[in-house]
Amino acid sequence: MRISEKRMLKLTNELKKVHIKYKTNIQLSSLTTIHVGGLASIILEPENSSQLYEAVYIAEKFGFQFKVIGNGSNLIISDTNIDFLPIINKKGQWEVIDTSPRSRNIKSKFSQNDSNSDKIFENGKDVIVQADSGIRLTQFATELYQKKIFGLEHFAGIHSTIGGAVYKNIHGMNKLFSDIIESVTILDNSKIRIISREKLNFDYDYSFLQDTNQILLSANLRLKQGDITELKKLRAKWIQQKTPQPQKSAGCIFQNLTKEQQDNLNLPTQSIGYFIDQKLNLKGKIIGGAKISENHAEFIENIGDATSNDIHSLIKFIQNESEQKYKIKLALKVELAGKFK
């Protein structure tokens, strides 16, 4: 996004007034896990949810189209034509706000029981923790342990902020992130609203944030406080299991097949990785610096200096193969931001 010198000066003066940090001329590739993304003339770096509110307010006041970016772990940003003002929301604070909440079961129909691990989670008492949307889950889990609080273990090893986790309704092991949400505070057309979980529209891979321009400021999470010894071990084990996944990636590229598609193809699983590997035979396929992972065919990894177009071309290639061979349209799970050919 091109910003005239005069406008940039006005913008930076405004940011300084409210102590919001910013950086100029930043390659967004340094802020995405797949390491692609072009030059942004300025990025804003709020440090908590109130600064995020201010940052959005200023962006809107200047008439900029903006995008809140968390840890950049689900984004493929174009190498050129960045047409938005990036608000990098990777910091925040958290606090315990209720130590004796009314008990309730908020497990969703998508979550499955896992008797091996579920028992460990039965110990401890419920607590409600309010967390800014910029907090990163890995750091958050470690900080929670210092207060003997647990409940994020299922999402161990996912490089997400709270904002990204709610936006995508991430899933880890047998749980969805929405399972632990009590309520959220959002910014909706310059108004702050608190919405309880019952009124939020969550689904597998889906949250209401995907269809609105609302920004998540913070979330109240129902976690547990108690003995963390076994939980720590479980978390370490689950992180270990995720480590072989290609880290220089944007996670799983496509959504899994539907039950109907699985049945039609007579496959043992809905896994998109299985489909790409066993039916399309595309494991290891390379375009430029982008490769379909040998270990996890649902991931595209940056094996060197991939451009955003290398990745985009590989995505289109997989989609074409799927449509031509099986008439299946593969829906993206990652998000493309900026301009692609």
Ligand X SMILES: Cc1cc2nc3c(=O)[nH]c(=O)nc-3n(C[C@H](O)[C@H](O)[C@H](O)COP(=O)(O)OP(=O)(O)OC[C@H]3O[C@@H](n4cnc5c(N)ncnc54)[C@H](O)[C@@H]3O)c2cc1C
Tell me which residue has tokens 């995505």: 315
Question: Residue 20 CB, nearest distance to ligand X (Å)?
Answer: 15
Considering only residues 14 through 73, tell me which ones interact with ligand X, judged by CB under 6 A: 33, 67-73
Residue of 26, 28, 56, 209 interacting with ligand X (CB under 6 A)? 209
Residue of 167, 202, 208, 275 interacting with ligand X (CB under 6 A)? 167
Residue of 160, 225, 256, 322 interacting with ligand X (CB under 6 A)? 160
Residue of 48, 51, 74, 307 interacting with ligand X (CB under 6 A)? 74
Size of the site for ligand X (CB under 6 A): 33
Nearest residue (CB) to ligand X, 51 versus 74: 74
Taking the mean position of all CA atoms in its chain, how far away is CA 12? 28
In the chain, what is the greatest distance between 2 CA atoms, to the nearest angstrom?
Answer: 62
Give every CB contact of residue 16 below 8 A, 6+ residues apart in sequence. Answer: none
Residue 212, Cβ neighbours under 10 Å: how many?
Answer: 12
Closest CA to 27 of 11, 16, 43, 38: 38
What element of type H or E holds 191? strand 191-196
Question: Residue 70 CB, nearest distance to ligand X (Å)?
Answer: 2
Question: Residue 145 CB, nearest distance to ligand X (Å)?
Answer: 20
Q: Which stretch binds ligand X (CB under 6 A): 15-23, 36-44, 139-147, 243-251?
A: 243-251
Cβ 275 vs Cβ 257: under 8 Å: yes
Give every CB contact of residue 323 below 8 A, 6+ residues apart in sequence. Answer: 329
C-alpha to C-alpha distance for 208 and 305, rounded to whole angstroms: 35
Question: Residue 252 CB, nearest distance to ligand X (Å)?
Answer: 6
Question: How many distinct helices (H) and strands (E) make up the chain?
Answer: 9, 18
Q: Give the orientation angle of helix 137-146 with respect to helix 229-242, to 10 degrees.
A: 160
Residue of 129, 221, 250, 272 interacting with ligand X (CB under 6 A)? 250
Q: Which stretch binds ligand X (CB under 6 A): 11-19, 162-170, 191-199, 313-321?
A: 162-170
Cβ 238 vs Cβ 156: under 8 Å: yes
Nearest residue (CB) to ligand X, 38 versus 70: 70
Residue of 251, 273, 275, 292 interacting with ligand X (CB under 6 A)? 251
Q: Which residues face 209 on adjacent strands?
A: none
Question: Residue 91 CB, nearest distance to ligand X (Å)?
Answer: 12
Residues that bind ligand X (CB under 6 A): 33, 67-75, 89, 133, 158-161, 163-165, 167-168, 170-172, 209, 215-216, 245, 247, 249-251, 335
